[in-house]
Structure 1
Amino acid sequence: MTTPRTVPGKILLIFYGFFGCAGAILFFNLFLERIITFLAFILRTIHEREVRRKGIGNSPNTSSNKDSNSLDEVSLDDWKPSVYWVMLILLVGAIIVACSASAMYHPVEGWTYFEAIYFCFVAFATIGFGDYVVSQKATYDYVYFYRFGNFVFIVIGCCFIYSLFNVTSIVIKQFLNWLLQKMNRRCTFGTLKCNASAAAAGRRNAITPGYLQRKHNGKEGVDVDFDSDSSFRRNSGELISMRDFLQANKISVAMMQKQLWETSQRGMGYNYSSTSGFQGGVGPLAILNKKLGQDDA
């Protein structure tokens, strides 16, 4: 395991690591953009075939064919690739790469197959515990081919795991939004139930003075119960703020869906004539471009 020992070597590592890690993140983002574009194109092609097959089967005459074609175009325009399918495909790709790499590490390094799988996840996720390290033996058979294969597997595995982590984060946020909505509904139901019980008991609102309640509609002796309405108005601000919070959390999910739809519309080709450099379409690079005003799309 090569590590710097001198002060100039450590200083060089700091600068090299800074720009090297930044370049690696850019490379992973560009890989994420390309693989998402490819998957969106494939999923859109499959969806188009399904829509056309169903449209032809349900249209016996020419007029109905025209109507079905127009409906198909509208449905294709509104269609967006599913994040769950993209996550599943990336997961399958990461498993295939990890299993292929483990098949190489298992006999060469003398590890068990589970240890090789464990090393692949730790290395591909850039965790790097260091408990399992490759190329530590004195001699290897076909050492140059082994080192080249090790390099290829680690690069491809890191790209797949990085893309999988980004897409999985969107799915986790969707689950958290769903959980917050469930909690919000329960809290709303409990609040309305408490208000109903308070109204049934005829308790006076602690905020509204009694003489103001009795003066309602110009009648001094009529005692009007404002408890349920005033409590609802007091709680309405909290409920609206919770809805705004949930809506704000959905922005990133909608952004991911919108980016998937845009990439599926563009297909495999990108129009870089209007851009001045690298413009990430999906993932953290797209978020940075939108926040910094670099994305013209």
Structure 2
Amino acid sequence: MGGSRAVCCPALRLNEDNARFALLALFILLYLVCGAAVFSSIERPMELRAQRAWSRRFANFTRCHNISRLELGAFLREYEQASMAGIRVDPLRPRWDFTGAFYFVGTVVSTIGFGMATPVTVSGRIFLIFYGLVGCAATILFFNLFLERIITLLAYILRWFHERRRQRSGLSGASEGRRGSSPSGEADSLDDWKPSVYYIMAILGGASLVISCCASAMYMPVEGWSYAESLYFCFVAFSTIGFGDLVSSQKATYTNQSLYRAGNFLLILMGVCCLYSLFNVSSIVIKQFLNWMLKRMECQGCRRGPIRRRARAHCNAVHPAAAAKARPHAVSMETVCDSDTDGRRVSGEMISVKDFLASNKVSLAIMQKQLSETANGGPRQSHSRYNGFSRGVGALAIMNNRLAETSVDR
């Protein structure tokens, strides 16, 4: 009974994680629908009153100056194109009907914030504050869960290619011959193998580029943008910069309108998730590069300064345990100066598949532990020495701690 429970528990935990991810996605979808309904009911009446007032003023102006509506509309469009003054007279879809409000809340919780529609009523602005707090927090958690799962999937795929490469090169047969003498065998060597962080970054970058190219091919004929403008919009939207100078799905009518809006929503969602993951992986590479530069600078200071040279000689001559009691700063100097090889060893490695087989869940416990230790004022002791992956809370901390757990000596 005990053995079957041990076997079933990992699968149960895996199912719980996937169920939590699906439940969060469903919650966000329902949250968007409810938010769109609330914002539409609050802001739609004000929009209708503003449209009626504008129509009356427009009709009075054309009647007083004996100008036709078509001529005045064409003149305003030409003025907008010439001066880029932001006057919008094109037939745009309503901002605060249900579909417009749904698009708006999507830009809110994803933190894109195009700015093509903003609440103008006091109740709508107050509701936005509380709605954004919950929605943005849930969406960030969704991105973190997606980040973990996409890296897990890529780790499995890269491991499969690694196994095929080993089989083609004949290393698997040689390992089979040594398996009788090795207690761990080939399986452990494959489990301890880690995919390169640069491969992960290249795959995520390629996926983001493919999604951007597909979306741009759709935006060109539908929105009337050039291909460069479409790519520009994709980056601004997927990176959640959200300037708002170009915004998709804003015309009153489209050919196959429902299909286009659904495709637009899915492409933006996929693009944001991929580019979010790419940014987090790239930030780890940048952090490793900065730590490598700092270590190089500190080691050069060890060699140049007479005091630091003595400290470094003392560190190399004294056992680390004795040096920790006598001169704690000397141990720190030795650790920094002699960690170049460790830095090179972990800089190109990522997540061990063995750890993914053991547990596939977001490191919320790590985040809670960091927050608790920070609140209590206690120093956080990292299990890896100056590996460049310590400290931080959030998506970057999740990946950092995952990498750190697989970077220590086994």
Give the SS at the match of 2:248: coil
Of 180, 185, 207, 1:93 maps to 207
Query: CA distance change for structure 1 residues 260 and 103 in 2, over 3 Å: closer, same or farther?
Result: farther
Aligned to 1:280: 362
Aligned to 2:171: 55
Deviation for aligned residue 1:148: 0.8
Q: Which residue of 2 aligns with 1:21?
A: 136
Distance 1:73 1:46 in 2: 15
C-alpha distance in structure 2 between counterparts of 1:83 and 1:26, whole Å: 22
Q: Secondary structure at the match of 2:250?
A: coil
* 1:1-297 equivalent positions in 2, closer than 5 A: 1-53=116-168, 54-56=170-172, 58=174, 63-64=177-178, 66=180, 72-191=186-305, 240-241=331-332, 259-266=351-358, 270=360, 279-281=361-363, 285=364, 287-289=366-368, 291=370
Cα contact 2:311–2:333 (8 A) shared by 1: no
**Partner of 1:89: helix, strand, or coil?**
helix
Paired residue type of 2:145 = L
**Which TM-score applies when normalising by structure 1?**
0.68
| Distance in 2 (alpha carbons) for counterparts of 1:70 and 1:17 | 51
Distance 1:174 1:8 in 2: 47
**Cα distance change of structure 1 residues 95 and 287 upon mapping to structure 2, 3 Å threshold:** farther
Shift of 1:56: 4.4
Q: Return the alpha-carbon distance in structure 2 between the equivalents of residues 262 and 286 of structure 1.
A: 20
> Is the CA contact 1:109–1:134 (under 8 Å) kept in the aligned structure 2?
yes
Cα offsets for 1:164-194 (capped at 9, x unmatched): 11111111111111211222232233225x9
One-letter amino acid of the counterpart of residue 148, structure 1? A
- TM-fit CA distance, 1:137: 2.5
- Deviation for aligned residue 1:111: 1.2
In the alignment of these two chains, the number of paired residues is 243
For residues 231 and 40 of structure 1, the distance between their equivalents in structure 2, rounded to whole angstroms, comes to 40
SS in 2 for 1:132: coil
Partners in 2 of 1:26 and 1:229 — Cα distance?
A: 49
Contact 2:178 2:185 in 1 (8 A): no
Would the aligned equivalents of 1:83 and 1:167 in 2 still touch at CA under 8 Å? Answer: yes
Structure-2 change in CA distance of 1:9 and 1:49 (3 Å): same
**Number of the residue aligned with 2:35:** none
CA distance in 1, matches of 2:328, 2:250: 63
Deviations 1:49-103 (A, max 9, x none): 33344324557xx855745895533422331122111111111111111111111
Structure 1 residue aligned with 2:107: none
Unaligned runs of 5+ in 2: 1-115, 315-326, 373-397, 399-404, 406-410
CA distance in structure 2 between the partners assigned to 1:43 and 1:159 by the alignment? 20
Shift of 1:135: 2.3
Alignment CA distance shift 1:103-1:159 (3 Å)? same
**1:161 Cα deviation after fit:** 0.7
Q: 1:50 corresponds to which letter in structure 2?
A: R
Equivalent pair of 2:179/2:186 in contact (CA under 8 Å): no
Identity in percent: 50
Work out the CA distance in 2 between the residues paired with 1:10 and 1:50: 58
Report the CA distance shift for 1:262/1:149 in structure 2 as closer, same or farther (over 3 A): same
Structure 1 SS opposite 2:195? coil
Find the aligned partners of 2:181 and 2:197 in 1 and give their Cα distance.
Answer: 30
| Counterpart Cα distance in 1 of 2:136 and 2:172 | 52
**Cα distance 1:290–1:50, how it changes in 2: closer, same or farther (>3 A)?**
farther
